Amino acid sequence: MDTLKKERVRHQIVSYLYILLGCLLFAAGDVMFVNPYLLAPGGTYGLANVLNTLWPWRIGFYAICMDIPLLLIGTWILGPRFGVKTVISTILIFGATLLFESVWGYQPLIHSGILTDISDCDPYFKQTLVQILDSERYFVPDYFLNTLIAGAIYGIAIGLIFKSGSTSGGSDIISMIAHKYTKISLGTLTLIVDSCITLTTFIAFKQIRLPIYSILLIVVESKVIDLVIEGVKSYKTAFIVTDKYKEVGDFILHDLQRGGTCFNGIGMYQGQERKMIYVVLNRSELVKLKGNLHYLDPNALVNVVESSEIMGYGFKALPKED
């Protein structure tokens, strides 16, 4: 019992370290990469970046003024489903953002040069420059590289927060509330809310590139989140209908060193009983199986599907209760 208790304590410590690191990375990505390029990749902090540029005030202040009412409204309408960790992550992101704003300011980390005198610049070239907030200096942007790095940092940050069992709250609560009163899926509503926020960059700054790069950032972020949460391993689930299930099963057990499950089935065309093997494999194991099935049973029927997450013995450990 003591061992189980210690394991739970260790798990809690790790999860809170994930939250702390994720919040720090999120704040760094927002202040150093997203805000200087006038991007708004969804969320309350995306909208806060736009407001911060139009009416200079701290990004953190704008965001927390939206986050707190959303948490209260969400708790009132949806119930206390956000948990202590979501409240903690909201406060930590706010504090970390204020810290980076105070220490770093609003200068970009990725750029192709900072200019103090643009009087002799070509008029068209001036349009490509971005002014540093509260400064007469301008920088030559590298939108693509900055977007890729910002998306990667955001993805790692949000992935760590999700992995801890927390959420970032914010505009996601709007999607949850809308989902309660509509038949629209939560994923679609989240996309709609984030898209509306990205479009504010075009309305505010009249540059079509800004919402496009913001959307690209969201795409990169989502892919990195999946990598952080699920890892780089990709598994395939194979359903094999075969009359030579013993030969195929022996190959899976002894050559691939994987387990499987054998089912009885009835063929609908001839009404004959047949065996179906269910097995989960990684990419290399699947290649070996397909390469040998022709010799094991050339009449076998194989259906291979993507498996986004496999948990249990031999694969990813089952999640522990927080």
CA-to-CA distance for 193 and 214, rounded, in angstroms?
Answer: 13
pLDDT of residue 211: 94
CA-to-CA distance for 65 and 49, rounded, in angstroms?
Answer: 13
pLDDT of residue 142: 94
Read off the pLDDT band of 261 (50, 70, 90).
confident
pLDDT of residue 316: 64
Read off the pLDDT band of 294 (50, 70, 90).
confident
The lowest-confidence range among 56-60, 148-152, 165-169, 251-255 is 165-169
Between helix 209-230 and helix 186-205 the angle, nearest 10°, is 150
**CB-based contact 108:146 (threshold 8 Å):** yes
pLDDT of residue 170: 77
Both tokens assigned to 76: 């009132």
pTM of the prediction?
0.77
Give the CATH class of 235-307: alpha beta
Does the pLDDT value for residue 159 go beyond 90? no
Per-chain mean pLDDT for the chain: 85
**CB-based contact 44:171 (threshold 8 Å):** yes
The mean per-residue pLDDT over the stretch 21-31 comes to 95
**CB-based contact 159:228 (threshold 8 Å):** yes
pLDDT of residue 315: 63
Domain boundaries, the chain: 2-230, 235-307
* Largest interatomic CA distance in the chain: 85
pLDDT of residue 122: 72
Q: What angle do CA 131, 134, 139 make, to 5 degrees?
A: 25
Does the pLDDT value for residue 252 go beyond 60? yes
pLDDT of residue 311: 67
CA-to-CA distance for 35 and 107, rounded, in angstroms?
Answer: 9
Q: How many CB atoms lie within 10 A of CB 273?
A: 10
pLDDT of residue 110: 93
**What are the pLDDT digits (tens) for 88-113?**
889 999 999 999 999 998 999 999 88
Helices and strands (H and E) in the chain: how many: 11, 7
The mean per-residue pLDDT over the stretch 260-286 comes to 82
Between helix 143-163 and helix 209-230 the angle, nearest 10°, is 40
The mean per-residue pLDDT over the stretch 64-68 comes to 92
The lowest-confidence range among 15-19, 180-184, 301-305 is 180-184
pLDDT of residue 245: 86
The lowest-confidence range among 13-27, 56-70, 240-254, 256-270 is 256-270
Does the pLDDT value for residue 265 go beyond 90? no
Does the pLDDT value for residue 223 go beyond 80? yes
Both tokens assigned to 298: 């050339």
Does the pLDDT value for residue 215 go beyond 90? yes
pLDDT of residue 232: 64
Q: CB neighbours of 149 closer than 8 A, spacing ≥ 6?
A: 33, 110
CA-to-CA distance for 280 and 233, rounded, in angstroms?
Answer: 12
pLDDT of residue 187: 61
Burial class (CB in 10 A: 0-12, 13-18, 19+), 2: exposed
Q: What angle do CA 157, 11, 78 make, to 5 degrees?
A: 65
* Residue length of the chain: 322
Beta bridge partners of 305: 237
CA-to-CA distance for 157 and 155, rounded, in angstroms?
Answer: 5
